[in-house]
């Protein structure tokens, strides 16, 4: 099939490359000229395991191309995917201006029947909005359908998730257009569910809202463990083995971040409000998440008081491991608070330092390795659970630090081991330990 994917970010680029790999002719469109030029030169705008090889292979085979010309890509396609960003507005609502701009562009280029697929995460009713915009702006009276096909990939395993999704949700206005999408996805041999457009739009938000709730729930249990003297990691093991609960997303820590959960939870609350519904549970989920950083930094402040001129090594900046994405990363807040309290911050992240430098305030020192960051530090803070940090030579880490003190916001080490290695170790939902 001939496909255009509009928006060449984490979702659009991976989706486009995978569709090309399945044998389709794919044009990836973006309005960011530098991004498209870079991609034409073989430079990936994002870090995603396996992406560079996948793109190179399909470009070399002539199935994948990159363009800034939306009209041309639309005219050459039977199916047009919208995968542009839908960032949050200050109010918490989703900013749909990019989706609207693309819908108008598609309308102007519409020359024959096409299927327009919304892959961006958009509030319920956006399919109707896109349909309406195309109807009002098309130059010729040609027919088209608008489908909702929400994306569930996770950054860091985006290719694997796109090749082997748990489920493919197709919110289609009629059976015929549903069949077109079924055919496109058939080679993946994964479970597909066909729904109406509104339900598909809600499935995406309901899924992310639920996962955010799971994270906030276990973080509240962690708070309780701290007060009662329990160990949240043991509680998680005991809960997670129950198949009705499951261990995924049951990790106590600094709370959820990233480009999806915070914005999707807020957007769902706003959607409810616009419909006259108060989503009380999700409001609490957001509140609990917001409190995580103040609580964590409060602990650091209490232990190190005063923070003035203390050197703190923050290990991990990306919002989660295996990505360079810094959007809504919890480290941003941690570092911001530490700097505001007068601390000197040295950092290291295996993939996100370039993006972090654009987002963190001046004065942060960027280091070449964990040991480099920890050299002479009064404390190490773990903000992202990269595997690399789990495998650190902790003996060496302790030796380079001024004071053997670790605040682990992701519970990546065993307290007893840390005690034996001579650290004072504070983690989430577990008792602190002190050197033997
Ligand atoms: P992104 O910011 O990485 O990429 C969006 C791209 O769209 C950018 O390259 C931008 O230049 C381009 N763009 C914006 N306006 C445009 C326009 N008018 N014409 C052409 N291109 C335009 O975003 P992303 O992370 O890929 O997310 C895209 C959508 O998918 C969002 O709605 C997001 O919520 C959703 N989503 C993201 C993930 C994820 O893990 N990143 C997972 C599932 C769903």
Tell me how far apart the alpha carbons of residues 374 and 174 are, in angstroms, rounded to a whole number.
59
Question: Does residue 36 have its Cβ closer than 6 Å to ligand 1?
Answer: no
Tell me how far apart the alpha carbons of residues 374 and 315 are, in angstroms, rounded to a whole number.
9
Could you report the per-residue pLDDT of 307-365, keeping only the tens digit for each?
Answer: 999 999 999 999 999 999 999 999 999 999 999 999 999 999 999 999 999 999 999 99
Instruction: With CA atoms as reference, report the closest residue to 132 among 97, 164, 107, 159.
Output: 107
DSSP code of 433? Answer: B
Residue entry with tokens 């307290």: 415
Q: Containing H/E element for 145? A: strand 144-148
- What is the average pLDDT across 12-36? 98
Tell me how far apart the alpha carbons of residues 404 and 420 are, in angstroms, rounded to a whole number.
12
* Percent of the residues in the chain that have a pLDDT greater than 70, as a whole number: 100
pLDDT score of 431 more than 90: yes
Could you report the per-residue pLDDT of 10-23, keeping only the tens digit for each?
Answer: 999 999 999 999 99
Q: Return the SS3 of 360.
A: coil
Q: Supply the pLDDT for residue 381.
A: 98
Instruction: With CA atoms as reference, report the closest residue to 153 among 169, 138, 174, 129.
Output: 169
Which atom of ligand 1 is least distant from the CA of 122? Answer: 32
Contacts by 163-166, CB closer than 8 A, 24 or more apart: 163/18, 163/188, 164/188, 164/190, 165/190, 166/190, 166/191
* Percent of the residues in the chain that have a pLDDT greater than 90, as a whole number: 99
Residue entry with tokens 């959007």: 327
Domains of the chain, CATH where assigned: 2-195 (3.40.50.720), 231-436 (3.40.50.720)
Q: Which of 4, 5, 9, 261 to mutate to test the pocket of ligand 1 (most atoms within 8 A of CB)?
A: 9
Q: How many other CB atoms sit within 10 Å of the CB of residue 154?
A: 14
Tell me how far apart the alpha carbons of residues 288 and 83 are, in angstroms, rounded to a whole number.
30
Which atom of ligand 1 is least distant from the CA of 32? Answer: 11
Q: What is the pTM of this model?
A: 0.94
Tokens of residue 63, six digits: 């199935």
Question: Does residue 295 have its Cβ closer than 6 Å to ligand 1?
Answer: no
Question: Does residue 201 have its Cβ closer than 6 Å to ligand 1?
Answer: no
Q: How many other CB atoms sit within 10 Å of the CB of residue 63?
A: 19
Tell me how far apart the alpha carbons of residues 349 and 374 are, in angstroms, rounded to a whole number.
12
**Cα 212 to ligand 1 centroid, rounded to whole Å:** 20
pLDDT score of 436 more than 90: no
Q: Return the SS3 of 137.
A: helix
Under a CB-based contact definition with an 8 Å cutoff, are residues 321 and 156 in contact?
A: yes
Tokens of residue 147, six digits: 């489908």
Tell me how far apart the alpha carbons of residues 66 and 73 are, in angstroms, rounded to a whole number.
9
Closest CA to ligand 1's atom 15: 98
pLDDT score of 28 more than 90: yes
Q: List CB contacts of 238: < 8 A, sequence separation 6 or more.
A: none
Tokens of residue 200, six digits: 């598909």
**Cα 183 to ligand 1 centroid, rounded to whole Å:** 25
Under a CB-based contact definition with an 8 Å cutoff, are residues 108 and 73 in contact?
A: no
Tokens of residue 258, six digits: 């990233």
SS (H, E, C) 174-210: CHHHHHHHHHHHHHHCCCEEEECHHHHHHHHHHHHHH
> For all residues of the chain together, what is the average pLDDT?
97
CA distances 68 to 29, 374, 397, Å, are 5, 44, 48
Residue 79 pairs in a beta bridge with 3, 115
Under a CB-based contact definition with an 8 Å cutoff, are residues 163 and 132 in contact?
A: no
Q: How many other CB atoms sit within 10 Å of the CB of residue 91?
A: 11
Which atom of ligand 1 is least distant from the CA of 158? Answer: 40
Q: What single string gives the DSSP state of each residue in 104-125? A: HHHHHH--S-EEEEE-S---TT
Question: Does residue 85 have its Cβ closer than 6 Å to ligand 1?
Answer: yes
Could you report the per-residue pLDDT of 358-375, keeping only the tens digit for each?
Answer: 999 999 999 999 999 999
Could you report the per-residue pLDDT of 156-213, keeping only the tens digit for each?
Answer: 899 999 999 999 999 999 999 999 999 999 999 999 999 999 999 999 999 999 999 9
Q: Which of 85, 153, 260, 355 to mutate to test the pocket of ligand 1 (most atoms within 8 A of CB)?
A: 85
Residues in the chain: 436
Tell me how far apart the alpha carbons of residues 67 and 35 are, in angstroms, rounded to a whole number.
10
Closest CA to ligand 1's atom 11: 32
CA distances 107 to 74, 137, 209, Å, are 9, 5, 33
Q: Supply the pLDDT for residue 45.
A: 95
Question: Does residue 265 have its Cβ closer than 6 Å to ligand 1?
Answer: no
Positions annotated as catalytic residues are 260
**Cα 179 to ligand 1 centroid, rounded to whole Å:** 26
CA distances 282 to 202, 205, 387, Å, are 14, 11, 31
Question: Does residue 262 have its Cβ closer than 6 Å to ligand 1?
Answer: no
Under a CB-based contact definition with an 8 Å cutoff, are residues 44 and 64 in contact?
A: no
């Amino acid at each position: 099939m001939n496909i255009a994917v509009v928006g060449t970010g984490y979702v659009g680029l991976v989706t486009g490359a995978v569709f090309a790999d399945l044998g389709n002719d794919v044009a990836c469109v973006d309005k960011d000229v530098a991004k498209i030029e870079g991609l034409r030169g073989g430079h990936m705008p994002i870090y995603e395991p396996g992406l560079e090889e996948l793109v190179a292979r399909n470009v070399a085979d002539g199935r994948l191309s990159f363009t800034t010309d939306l009209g041309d890509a639309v005219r050459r396609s039977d199916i047009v995917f919208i995968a542009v960003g839908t960032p949050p507005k200050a109010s918490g609502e989703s900013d749909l201006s990019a989706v609207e701009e693309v819908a108008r562009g598609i309308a102007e280029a519409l020359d024959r029947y096409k299927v327009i697929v919304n892959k961006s995460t958009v509030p319920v009713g956006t399919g109707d909005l896109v349909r309406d915009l195309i109807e009002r702006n098309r130059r010729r009276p040609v027919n088209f359908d608008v489908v909702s096909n929400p994306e569930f990939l996770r950054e860091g395993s985006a290719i694997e998730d796109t090749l082997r999704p748990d489920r493919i949700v197709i919110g289609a206005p009629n059976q015929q257009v549903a069949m077109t999408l079924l055919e496109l996805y058939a080679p993946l041999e994964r479970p597909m569910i066909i729904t109406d457009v509104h339900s598909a739009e809600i499935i995406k938000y309901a899924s992310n809202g639920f996962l955010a709730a799971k994270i906030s729930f276990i973080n509240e249990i962690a708070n309780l463990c701290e007060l009662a003297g329990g160990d949240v990691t043991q509680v998680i093991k005991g809960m997670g083995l129950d198949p009705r609960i499951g261990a995924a997303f049951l990790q106590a820590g600094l709370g959820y971040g990233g480009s999806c959960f915070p914005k999707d939870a807020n957007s769902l609350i706003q959607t409810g409000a616009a419909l006259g519904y108060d989503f009380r549970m999700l409001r609490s989920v957001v509140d609990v998440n917001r409190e995580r950083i103040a609580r964590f930094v409060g602990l650091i402040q209490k232990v190190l008081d005063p923070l003035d001129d203390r050197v703190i090594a923050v290990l991990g900046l990306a919002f989660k491991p295996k990505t360079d994405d810094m959007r809504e990363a919890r480290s941003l807040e941690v570092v911001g608070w530490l700097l505001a309290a007068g601390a000197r911050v040295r950092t290291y992240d295996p993939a996100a330092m370039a993006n972090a430098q654009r987002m963190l305030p001046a004065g942060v020192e960027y280091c070449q390795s964990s040991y480099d960051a920890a050299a002479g530090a009064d404390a190490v803070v773990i903000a992202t659970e990269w595997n690399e940090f789990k495998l650190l030579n902790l003996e060496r880490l302790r030796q380079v630090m001024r004071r053997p003190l670790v605040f682990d916001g992701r519970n990546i080490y065993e307290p007893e081991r840390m005690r034996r290695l001579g650290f004072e170790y504070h983690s989430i939902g577990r008792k602190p330990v002190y050197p033997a």
